[in-house]
Amino acid sequence: MKRLVKIIALMGCVSTVVVWGFPFGPPNGVTIAPGDKPGVSCTQCHPGTPLNGGGGSVRIAFPNGLTYTPGQPQNLTVVIDDAIAATYGFEMSARLESGLTTQQAGSFTPAQNQKVVCSDNNIEPAAGCGGNGIQWIEHTQPYLTNMMTVQWTPPAAGSGNVHIYVSANAANGDNTPRGDHIYAADYVLTAASNATSAVPAITSIGNGLSGAANLQAGSWVTITGTNFASAAATWDSSIIDGVFPTTLGGVTVAIDGRPAPISFVNQTQVNALVPATSTLGNVKVVVSNGNGSSAPLSAVLASASPGLFTYSQSQGRYASAVVMDGATSFEYLAPAGLLGSQTQSRPAKAGDSILIFGTGFGPTTTPVNPEMVSSVAYPLAHTGADTKAPLAQVTIGGVAAQVQFCGIISPGTYQINATVPQGLTSGDQPLKVTLLSGPSVPQTVFIPVQ
């Protein structure tokens, strides 16, 4: 297995007011890289809006797509889209995947209005940064354009994949640190390869729960094909400083040119989260490993693509749900004994409060970064003028259930709190979920009722 490389890039803390506080650029370590400030970025000095919560985005344009030639310099163009931005700035750092907090990958060449600083916050000397050699390249004055170019020379041959994290500050120019918007994204570059065998090939892409063709940004996706990973791997031991891995078992996935956090991979399947993107419609999906990259296959991104988690037992017949026995106690909502003798489960009865879990229910009042571990409770965002309209409709056995909450609770995972209606016949009853925005869950699933 080739050694992996990760590049960490950040558009750092700069606004009209911060120019006075940091006239020659921010301090080092304000990236979202493991070892810096993942999940925080510049929001600690530009408070008020959560990371990726400003309604815009940051992206990187690569001259050769998501590949690089070892040792050959390339220009990375950062593009920030934001409705209120007046000035922009950045900080970028490149790391080896094998040592995200301690090992530099490649080198940066500063252009006008840029500098390279070392871990001691001093400008890089002619001999290079000492210690572990970590570099940060950053602005020396704010940019008035939303496009910035950084020259990076990749590491030598055999270094493997390059992973780029990028964050951006779109400053509103009001001479205060509030109201600025901080964004983050990441990308994975694969070293150019001449391999003609064992190259990944994609056969299907679908909603990770329902199998539907449409996907939603931030939702679960399942990709099937051949020549993915040589062995099965999960992200359980690969989540570093709360950042989900976008390289797992030597495999990376790019959706709309952005790397997807990967939870599981084996030779024929990848389970991942669709990265944050505002794109709707057709996008390209590419799976890469040390042998090269697959041919792009199209997928469709929609504003919502709902699916429900199901128990693997009984071929996914039953929705994955729980029934509350108290404020903090619950049992699994499934036929008694279905989940094994060590797992307590039971059917629901009229009046029970149940929690139903799914993915792809649509935008929420506060966006959630699919690349970061988080536990939240943000309701779906209303799409029309009637802010009192129910966010989702749930029927059990054809009878409407009262919905108390419908929203996101962690990256890719949504939750519906509902009350089981009166008058249902004992036995398996079909569960149907329809979103206020229009889409319905396409799966045929059941919950047991007594």
Statement: the pTM of the whole predicted model exceeds 0.85? no
Burial 323-352 (b: 16+ CB within 10 A, else e): bbeeeeebbbbbbeebbeeeeebbbbeeeb
Domains parsed from the chain with CATH numbers? 5-191 (2.60.40.10), 201-301 (2.60.40.10), 307-449 (no CATH)
Say if CB 101 and CB 95 are below 8 A apart.
yes
For residue 162, what are the CA distances in angstroms to 66, 117, 146, 402? 9, 21, 24, 48
* Positive or negative torsion for Cα 311, 251, 280, 380: positive
In the prediction, which pLDDT does 7 show?
40
Are 401 and 319 contacting, i.e. CB atoms less than 8 angstroms apart?
no
Longest dimension (CA), the chain: 79
Provide φ and ψ at 19, rounded to 5°: -55, -35
Written as tens digits, the pLDDT of the chain (450 aa) is: 333 344 434 433 433 334 333 546 678 887 777 788 766 666 767 777 887 788 787 777 777 767 788 899 999 888 888 888 999 988 888 888 777 788 888 889 999 999 999 999 899 999 999 888 999 888 888 889 988 899 999 988 877 777 777 778 888 887 777 888 888 777 777 777 777 788 999 999 999 999 999 999 999 999 999 999 999 999 999 887 788 888 889 898 989 888 899 999 999 999 999 998 889 999 999 998 878 889 999 999 999 999 999 999 999 999 999 999 988 899 999 999 999 989 999 999 999 999 999 999 999 999 898 988 999 999 999 876 667 778 899 999 999 999 999 999 999 999 999 999 999 999 999 999 999 888 999 999 999 999
408 has which bridge partners? 378, 414
Closest CA to 183 of 64, 84, 256: 84
Rama region for 132: left / alpha / beta (φ>0; ψ in -120 to 50; rest): alpha
> Hey, what are 331's tokens?
């049992």
Tokens of 262: 């990967």
Q: How many CA atoms lie within 13 A of 260 on its CB side?
A: 31
**Which sign does the torsion angle of CA 13, 19, 21, 23 carry?**
positive
199 CB neighbour count, 10 Å cutoff: 17
Looking at residue 224, its pLDDT comes to: 98
Nearest to 184 by CA among 16, 9, 412: 9
pLDDT for position 31: 79
The rounded distance, in Å, linking the Cα atoms of 95 and 363 is 33
DSSP assignment of 87-118 equals: EEE-EEEEEEGGGTTT-B-SEEE--TTEEEE-
pLDDT for 8 equals 39
Q: Which candidate, 437, 399, 151, places its Cα nearest to that of 303?
A: 437
pLDDT of residue 271: 98
Distance CA 362, CA 382 (A): 10
287 sits in which H/E element: strand 281-289
Which of 137, 151, 135 lies closest to 75, judged by CA? 151
Task: Report the pLDDT value the prediction gives residue 386, as an integer from 0 to 100.
Answer: 66
Single-letter amino acid code for the residue at 275 = P
Q: Are 272 and 263 in contact (CB under 8 A)?
A: yes
